[in-house]
Structure formats: structure tokens, C-alpha cells
Amino acid sequence: MTASSLLVAYFSMEIALSSELPTYAGGLGVLAGDHLRAAADTGLPMVAVTLLYRKGYFRQVLDAQGHQQERDVQWLPEHHLERVPVQVVVTIEGREVKVGAWCTWIHGAGGGRVPVYMLDTDVDGNDEEDRRITDHLYGGEERYRLQQEAVLGLGGRRLLAALELTPTRWHLNEGHSSLLALELLALELSARTDDLEGAIAAVRERCVFTTHTPIPTAHDRFPKALATAVLGRELVELYARLPTPHSAEINMSALGIELSGFVNGVSHRHAEVSTGMFPGRPIHAITNGVHSATWTAPAMRAVFDRWIPEWRRHAHALRQAQKIPTEAIVAAHREAKRALVDEINRHGDHNFGEERFTIGFARRATAYKRMLLVLRDVRRLREIASRWGALQIVFAGKAHPRDLEGKRMIEAVFRQQEVVLPSVRIAFLPGYDMRLGGLITAGVDLWLNTPMAPLEASGTSGMKAAHNGVPNLSVRDGWWCEGYVEGQTGWVLAPGHPSDDADAAQLYRVLDEEILPLYLGAPERWAERMRASIALAASYFNAHRMLGEYLERAYAPRW
């Protein structure tokens, strides 16, 4: 296959393009957007397909006690997108559902561009229920989710065909789009009567599958009776003919893996964990990366532009950050910190100050992320702050509307705000999105990540922090197994402790005995660690390197 004949179709349930477009919920969508931005930068022929989500994921509203309420997002697609003059039809529950589309373009630093098609069922001719299929991201129950996955996988393929686009590779970003591969198999079988083995081989040659989570419950499974009702008997019977292990459910991840010639996890550690989850198929590792120009704060971009002019098109050039004077990096970070502090203080009477050591924790609010670990022993935290000077901790993150434990975690952070005063100040910022994520990862002094290992697939927020010269303090899991360089990029919390109490004790010890003494007692050495975070972590954990690996190992080869 020559480069000129390559066209990659990238399917993802969510894609983050900007804070103004509510087409993402979190890390999966942000990673997808960075993947496409890197393709536009490098000129890789790619087209993306997702859903429109007229009411978004949700707008997070927090009251004075931290109780989360969800509100629909209000936006007008016609103000941001172009309507595509093509419709296709997908049969859902025996009804012909019309699927329209909108388009926007991602323009790259090198002059390339990538179209993103957003599928929409709110079109004339559909009944009221079908018009709502593409309203909410991750909304509703199993039936609603399966309807959406039918629109994405089946409708997305048909849209590209109607636009006369003929992808040579189909990239399934998680199992939400696995019905695409099943339809490709049905099409192959129509031309290869009874040659199931040959049809599967032909589909595998064209499909790439990326799994993003080691959480078993996060992999979509649907009862066969429901799948038959929504999708029809033919597709379900075709699924039953696959050699993958079967149960009473349709497993979307297993389906995508079975029909893909290249399957990968999103870090080396995650690939190891995924191999145990899906035995019998090799799971490769392509560690995630973030789009450097998107996630570097304006002041730091200016520094890079001066000292490393080629970094926007070739992010690996950030390795040359070692030649940047540390004074320039410190000054740029100070400007980013000022912007964050201003944002925090606009949200309430938090009284954050630029001179205080600031820790950032912004993740989806769910149990295994352990948002509360840093607050587990408030007495110890206050002692550390009293010894070294006032600390500030900024939190952000949404809990899924049905994740009651996640909501209680947010409320617990709010309850601690008064308890830890005056030596420790806490702020929880509502409405975590791309804009806020960029402010926090660039403006804090230390990025904190404390998931329960081995449940972190990759994690990309810490990579964004590294691009801004912010060292990480993270559990040895996901990308940090590769990104941690002792004495250079940050600090590691070794997993495997018997309890959260033991993990918290380790966190406090590292903060008290290593991090704060360096920050306050040896600012020159701290600045060198900031620079090393850019040169060693940002230069590798970026979307340009990630996309290059996909091109070399997944898109271009034939298996």
C-alpha cells in the first residue's frame, strides 16, 4: 500500500474539538480530537465519524454543598458546522431511521485538514423517538446506547459510502463502533458465499481496534434479545457465527477485537492488562500522546516558538527544551499560574494566591480515580502546610449522572474546604471541559494522579502538564510506567499497598520530604525539573509520535 492510496476512517463515540462543541465527555473524546489534530498537522489522509449530540453530555451545576445537578447543553449546530447534503438509512427496531450529518474541518499546522462528520437523527421524516437518538452522549439505558451504536457503526459506514469515500483502513476507537466491522463482514459475505473464514480475514485486513479501559463494566455488553430487537436477526446471527467466545450477550469490545487485524491498548501496562482480559488475540501497545500545540499555554508556546521553531509540526523537537533558559520556562509558567488563580477566584471566595504551592487534580469523578486520597488525613496535610507554607489544591471533574459514589466524592471535597483552613485552601471548579483542563494542567505547580492500579489505561492530563513544565506525582500505572524518569520528570507512588491509608501516607511523605523541600529550598533545581519534564516527557508523549506509530504499525502494513 502506498501513502497516496491510504485513507483512514476514524470512528469514535466522542470527539473533542473545542469547548464550544459538546461532542465529548472526557478523556476518550479528547484523545480522539488530538489524534485527528495530529493527522491534520502531518497531512495523513483521514476522515472521522462521530455523533452530533444536540444536548451534549451534560452541563455540570454544583450548589454550595457540592451537590451535582445535570443540565442539557444549549447550542445550535448551524452556528458551528456545515450541513452535509446527504442522508442514509439505518433499520432500528424494524423502522427505517434517516441519518443526516454535519461536518467541520480540522486544519493542521502543515496545511493538511481532516473532515469530521457528526451523525444526526433529528431530521424530517423520523418519528419523535428516533429524532432523539443522537441527543445525549452516554445518556439513557441499554436500548438507547445500542441505538446510538447502530447509528454510529452502520450509519457512519453508509454515510462515507454515500459520499463516495473508500477507506482503506477503518479505525474503531473503542467498542462503540464495532457494528461497523460486523456490517463490513456482512458485505464481504455477500460476495463470498459461505466463505466465512475468508470474509473475516478480509475484514481484519482493513480494521484497527483500540481499547481504552481495563474496567470490565466499561465494555459495552447487550443481551442478545435486546440486540435482536434493535438490530434485527441477521446481524445477531452473524455475530453468533464468529469464532470469538460467546455468552448470552453481545460484547462490543470482543466483536471489534475479533474482526480487527491490529488491536492495541493505550500504554504498555494497559496492553498487558488487556491481554489478560481478551486472551487468544495479541494486544499491542501504542501509548497515548496529546496534541502539543493545543495543550501548551500561550506563554509557553511563545517560549517554544522562540527556541524550538519547528515544534508545532514536529513535536519530538521538544527534546531540545534543554537549551531553553530555565528563567524563560519559569516566567511562562508564572503567567499560566496567574491565569489559573484568576479563574479560581472568579468562581468564589477561595482567596488563592500566585505565591502558594498549587496542586492540581482534575479527572472524572469516579471511585477508582481516588479523588479524595490527598484529603484522607487532613491533620497530616495541615501539618505539612504549616511546616512549609500554605498549600492550594484545585479539583475539577464530572461524575456520571448515575455514579452516586462519584457525586458523593465531589460533595466530600466541598465539606473539606472549611476543615483544612487556614493552612490549606481547596477549590472545586465546575464544568470541567477542554478550556478548564488547559488552564489547570498549565497553571498548577504539581500534577497529582492517584488511581487504583492497574485500572489506569493511560491518562493524558499528566502529559498536558508536562508540556507546560509541570512535574507529575502519580501512581506507577498507565503512561507513568513509561514517563517517570527518576529525578527528572516527577515522582512516583508505587502501587500495591494494602489500603488507601498506606497510599495516602506515601503521598504525604513524598510531598513533605521530597517535593516541597525542592520547590521551596532549591528553586533552581525545581526549574531544571520543569525543563526536564518538557524535554523528556512532552517530546515523547505527544500525538505526533502516537500517530506515527499508528501509521507504521497499524495503518500502512498488511497483516
Q: What are 521-555's pLDDT values in tens digits?
A: 999 999 999 999 999 999 999 999 999 999 999 99
pLDDT of residue 1: 44
> How far is CA 140 from each of CA 68, 146, 150, 293, rounded to the nearest angstrom?
18, 10, 15, 36
Q: What is the DSSP letter of 400?
A: P
- The H-assigned helical ranges of 43-141 are 128-131
Cα(499)–Cα(524) distance, rounded to whole angstroms? Answer: 36
For 376, the 3-state DSSP assignment is coil
Q: Are strands 46-51 and 113-120 parallel, antiparallel or unpaired?
A: parallel
Write down the pLDDT at residue 245. 60
Residue pair 272/282 in contact by the 8 Å Cβ criterion:
no
**Residue 149 C-beta-side C-alpha neighbours within 13 Å:** 33
Question: For the segment 338-377, what is each residue's pLDDT rounded down to a tens digit?
Answer: 999 999 999 988 999 999 999 999 999 999 999 999 999 9
Taking only the tens place, the pLDDT of each residue in 274-293 is: 999 998 889 999 999 999 99
Which residues make Cβ contacts (< 8 Å) with residue 248, sequence separation at least 6?
223, 224
Question: Cα separations (Å) of 184 from 88, 200, 238, 423?
Answer: 16, 9, 11, 60
- pLDDT level of residue 246 (50, 70, 90 thresholds): low
H or E element that contains 361: strand 357-362
Helix (H) or strand (E) holding 94: none
Q: Which helix H or strand E contains 474, and what residues bound it?
A: strand 472-475
Instruction: Report whether 80 contacts 21 (CB < 8 A).
Output: yes
pTM: predicted TM-score of the whole model, two decimal places: 0.96
**Cα–Cα distance for residue pair 292/485, rounded to 1 Å:** 20
From CA 187, how far away is CA 185, in angstroms rounded? 5
**By C-alpha distance, which of 131, 106, 123 is closest to 39?**
106
Among 124-133, 200-209, 468-477, 497-506, which stretch is predicted with the lowest mean pLDDT? Answer: 497-506
pLDDT per residue as tens digits for the range 374-410: 999 999 999 999 999 889 999 999 999 999 999 999 9
Cα–Cα distance, 531 to 16 (Å, whole number): 28
Q: Give the separation between CA 144 and CA 130, rounded to whole angstroms.
A: 10
Taking each helix axis as running N to C, give the angle between helix 233-240 and helix 224-231, from 0 to 180 degrees, rounded to the nearest 10.
130
CA distance 480 to 478: 6
| CA distance to 195, 376, 384, 425, 448, per residue, from 508 (Å) | 61, 10, 8, 16, 12
Report the pLDDT averaged over residues 129-138: 97
| pLDDT at position 499 | 83
Between CA 97 and CA 104, with CA 103 as vertex, the angle to 5 degrees is 155
